[in-house]
């Protein structure tokens, strides 16, 4: 048993030693950055991304040891097994084939002895022809009006990734269809969403693998009632994305149509399936959705095949492990200096924290080192005016800065201080990365002293094209999976959410006896708290 422990691996122990060395004052980032070759050495470009990790607290030796760790743990072999369709989701006895969703080669992908590609191609084709009919007005609402709004009912993995992509590419949403998300069971969400959509021109798109998720069903029921009151039949405004054979696929329940999801795609890895495909194609057109897939495919190939020294998501995973397990940082921030990428933060928060928030290995042994960290963030420069005080002079945390060379809006070129707003954004991004790393001492006035040595990476994209969004999506997916493979945990299950579900079901019989009126005394709810 102890032989299996990560911390007993010679390379892990060497990394622990290496951390002591990197913690020495002479290895402050301010000193490391004096090396003129550092940027060349600790940055890499591939698949439309440039990854600069020169402001991480590593040296050549650290990087070699980290790559040794990746090799020891055979993470690329595991990644290839995943792509081939092996059952890498051992606890649920399933494959994890999100990479097949963007496979445009003619190669088959087998799982359980069956090639999944014909089905995947068929669904792509079905999505295309369906959305074309919506856009042309061939498919329309019950009163004969074309659809102008979609309300996506879905939560967690059926929501965050799609919201990220739709928000990131909002500037290209030229299909005259506005997307709204109804995720939370909270009636405030329902109230707000229906207050700003026109029921006659609304398509309700219900996304749920099991079609049993409490939040989803509660919102669907609310939607039936709401549409009925408006004198509109929901079934003529309803499309589902769900597992074959689920209640949402039941042919006896009328709907415009159902699209299928697969059991070998986990929710948080499902953006490039019909989960994202249907809503994104409705807003952006199918072609742009396919361009997202092509960008993701490019990154998948890169993650699978390129050697560790050049492998961007693998390098990012190793840096993340280093910061977490060896330098002891418990949180990581994502700061995109490109506000269309703002929703990447909650997406990666879900993707990464649900995948890596584990304390047992895939074999069921207790993990001897902490896995996942807390992911949070804010767009730059907003973050500078929010929590960067703490980043500079308080508790340090590593940061992924994300920059974009060319913005989506090209028409606003007015200059302030001699530069455009976009150039100002860049000046700030680079200045922050540098000042966090280098710091600046002020012996006379400690409150104006900056300790520095705060690590960060810089991820650059050329623009915010659909391909770029696909690349970024697949980059963070691969990084998450690589880290999990190093720890030996299963990034595709989530048993940790079960206990809350069980207790919530128990609690229903209690809460139903309470009126929830604003005039109620707190003492009544104190009674409820005691009961649950």
Q: Does 511 bind a second copy (CB under 8 A)?
A: yes
When asked if residue 405 is in the footprint of a second copy (CB under 8 A), the reply is yes
Which of these ranges, 97-105, 198-206, 249-257, 358-366, lies near a second copy under the rule CB under 8 A? 358-366
Asked if residue 486 lies in contact with residue 321, where contact means CB atoms within 8 angstroms, the answer is: yes
Q: Which is nearer to a second copy, 14 or 246 (CB)?
A: 246
Q: Tell me: does residue 520 bind a second copy (CB under 8 A).
A: yes
Residues 32-71 that bind a second copy (CB under 8 A): 39, 43, 45, 50, 52
**406-415 — which CB contacts under 8 Å span 24+ positions?**
406/462, 406/463, 407/338, 407/463, 407/464, 408/171, 408/172, 408/340, 408/463, 408/464, 409/171
From residue 515, alpha-carbon distances to 11, 436, 518, 519 in Å are 60, 52, 9, 10
CB 392 → a second copy: shortest distance, Å? 4
Report helix angle 466-487 to 286-305, nearest 10. 40
Q: CB of residue 95 vs a second copy: minimum separation in angstroms?
A: 19
Residues 294, 307: Cα–Cα separation, whole Å: 21
Residues 102-161 that bind a second copy (CB under 8 A): 155-157, 159-160
21 touches a second copy (CB under 8 A)? no
Binding mask 406-445 for a second copy (x = CB under 8 A): xxxx-xx-xxxxxxxxxxxxxxx-xxx-xxx--xx----x
Query: Quick one: which of 59, 180, 184, 306 contacts a second copy (CB under 8 A)?
Result: 184
Cα separation of 102 and 47, whole Å? 15
25 lies in the binding site for a second copy (CB under 8 A):
no
4, 385, 415, 526: the catalytic one is 385
The Cα-based distances of 276 to 158, 204, 236, 290, 400 in angstroms read 8, 14, 21, 11, 25
> One symbol per residue from 254 to 273: x for binding a second copy (CB under 8 A), - otherwise; what is it?
--------------------
For residue 385, give the DSSP letter: G
Rounded to a whole number of angstroms, the minimum distance from the CB of residue 121 to a second copy is 30
Q: Which is closer to a second copy, CB of 124 or CB of 175?
A: 175
Compute the distance between CA of residue 432 and CA of residue 435 in angstroms, rounded to an integer. 5
Region binding a second copy by CB under 8 A among candidate stretches 77-85, 110-118, 251-259, 382-390: 382-390
Is 183 among the residues that bind a second copy (CB under 8 A)? Answer: yes
* 422 in catalytic set: no
* Residue 113 to residue 119: CA distance in whole angstroms: 14
Nearer to a second copy (CB atom), residue 136 or residue 389: 389
Residue (of 6, 98, 49, 105) closest to 313 by Cα position: 49
Per-residue x/- marks for a second copy, 447-486, CB under 8 A?
xxxxx------x-x-xx-x---------------------
- 427's enclosing H/E stretch is helix 421-438
By CB under 8 A, residue 172 contacts a second copy:
no
The pairing of beta strand 49-52 with beta strand 43-46: antiparallel
**Residue 253 sits in the site that holds a second copy (CB under 8 A):** no
Helices 117-136 and 274-284, packing angle to 10 deg: 30
Task: Return the H-helix or E-strand segment holding 307.
Answer: none
Question: Quick check: 91 binds a second copy (CB under 8 A)?
Answer: yes
With binding defined as CB under 8 A, does residue 360 bind a second copy? yes
Under the criterion CB under 8 A, does residue 246 sit at the interface with a second copy? no
Annotated catalytic residue within 501, 526, 527, 531: 501
Based on the shown chain and the rule CB under 8 A, indicate whether residue 493 belongs to the binding site for a second copy: yes
Whether 354 is catalytic: yes
CB atoms within 10 A of CB 235: 14
CB count in 10 Å sphere of residue 387 = 17
Say whether residue 316 binds a second copy (CB under 8 A). no
> Interface with a second copy includes 310 (CB under 8 A)?
no
Q: Is 501 among the residues known to form the active site?
A: yes
- Tell whether residue 384 is a contact of a second copy (CB under 8 A): yes
Report yes or no: 162 and 151 within 8 Å, Cβ to Cβ.
Answer: no
Contact call for residue 277 and a second copy (CB under 8 A): no
Of these residues, 290, 297, 298, 354, which one is catalytic?
354
- Residue 247 as a binder of a second copy (CB under 8 A): the answer is no
If the CB atoms of residues 118 and 231 are measured against a second copy, the closer one turns out to be: 231
Please give the residues from 281 up to 300 whose contact with a second copy meets the rule CB under 8 A. none
Q: How far is CA 38 from CA 52, 249, 327, 402, 456, in A?
A: 10, 56, 20, 20, 14
User: How many CB atoms are located within 10 Å of the residue 469 CB?
Assistant: 27
420 beta partners: 415
- Chain positions 186 to 225 lying near a second copy, rule: CB under 8 A, are 186-192, 214-215, 217-219, 221-222, 224-225
Q: Does 93 bind a second copy (CB under 8 A)?
A: no
Catalytic residues: 354, 385, 501
């Amino acid at each position: 048993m102890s032989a299996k422990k990560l911390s007993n691996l010679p390379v892990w122990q060497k990394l622990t030693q290496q951390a002591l060395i990197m913690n020495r004052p002479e290895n402050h980032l301010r000193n490391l950055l004096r090396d003129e070759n550092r940027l060349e050495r600790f940055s890499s470009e591939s698949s439309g991304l440039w990854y600069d990790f020169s402001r991480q607290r590593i040296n050549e030796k650290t990087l070699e040891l980290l790559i040794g760790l990746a090799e020891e743990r055979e993470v690329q072999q595991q990644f290839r097994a995943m792509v081939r369709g092996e059952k890498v989701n051992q606890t649920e006895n399933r494959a994890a084939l999100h990479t097949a969703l963007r496979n445009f080669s003619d190669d088959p992908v087998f799982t359980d002895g069956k090639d999944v590609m014909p089905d995947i191609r068929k669904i792509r084709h079905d999505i295309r022809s369906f959305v074309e009919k919506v856009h042309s007005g061939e498919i329309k609402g019950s009163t004969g009006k074309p659809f102008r709004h979609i309300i996506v009912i879905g939560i967690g993995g059926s929501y965050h990734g799609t919201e990220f992509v739709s928000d990131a590419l909002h500037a290209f949403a030229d299909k005259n269809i506005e997307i709204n998300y109804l995720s939370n069971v909270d009636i405030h969400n329902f109230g707000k969403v229906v207050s700003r959509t026109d029921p006659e021109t609304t398509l309700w798109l219900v996304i749920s693998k099991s079609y049993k998720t409490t939040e989803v069903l509660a919102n669907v029921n609310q939607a039936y009632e709401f549409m009925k009151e408006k004198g509109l039949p929901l079934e003529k405004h309803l499309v589902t994305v769900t597992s074959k054979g689920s209640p949402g696929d039941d042919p006896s329940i009328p709907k415009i149509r159902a699209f299928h999801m697969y059991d070998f795609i986990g929710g948080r890895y499902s953006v490039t399936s019909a989960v994202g495909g249907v809503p994104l194609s409705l807003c952006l057109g199918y072609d742009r959705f396919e361009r997202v897939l092509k960008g993701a495919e490019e990154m998948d190939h890169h993650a699978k095949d390129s050697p560790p020294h050049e492998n961007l998501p693998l390098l990012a995973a190793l840096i993340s492990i280093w910061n977490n397990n060896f330098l002891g940082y418990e949180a990581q921030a994502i700061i995109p200096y490109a506000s269309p990428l703002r929703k990447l933060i909650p997406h990666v928060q879900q993707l990464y924290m649900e995948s890596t928030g584990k304390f047992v290995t895939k074999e069921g042994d207790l993990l001897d080192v902490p896995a996942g960290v807390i992911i949070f963030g804010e767009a730059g420069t907003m973050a500078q005016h929010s929590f960067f005080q703490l980043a500079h002079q308080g508790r340090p945390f590593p940061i992924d800065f994300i920059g974009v060379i060319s913005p989506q809006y090209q028409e606003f070129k007015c200059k302030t201080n001699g530069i455009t707003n976009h150039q100002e954004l860049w000046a700030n991004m680079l200045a922050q990365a540098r000042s966090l790393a280098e710091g600046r001492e002020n012996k006379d006035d400690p409150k104006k002293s900056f300790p520095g040595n705060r690590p960060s990476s810089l991820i650059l994209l050329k623009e915010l094209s659909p391909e770029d969004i696909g690349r970024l999506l697949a980059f963070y997916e691969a990084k998450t999976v690589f880290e999990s493979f190093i720890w030996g945990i299963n990034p595709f299950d989530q048993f940790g959410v079960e206990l809350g579900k069980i207790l919530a079901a128990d609690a229903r019989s209690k809460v139903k006896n309470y009126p929830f009126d604003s005039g109620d005394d707190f003492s009544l709810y104190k009674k409820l708290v005691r009961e649950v």
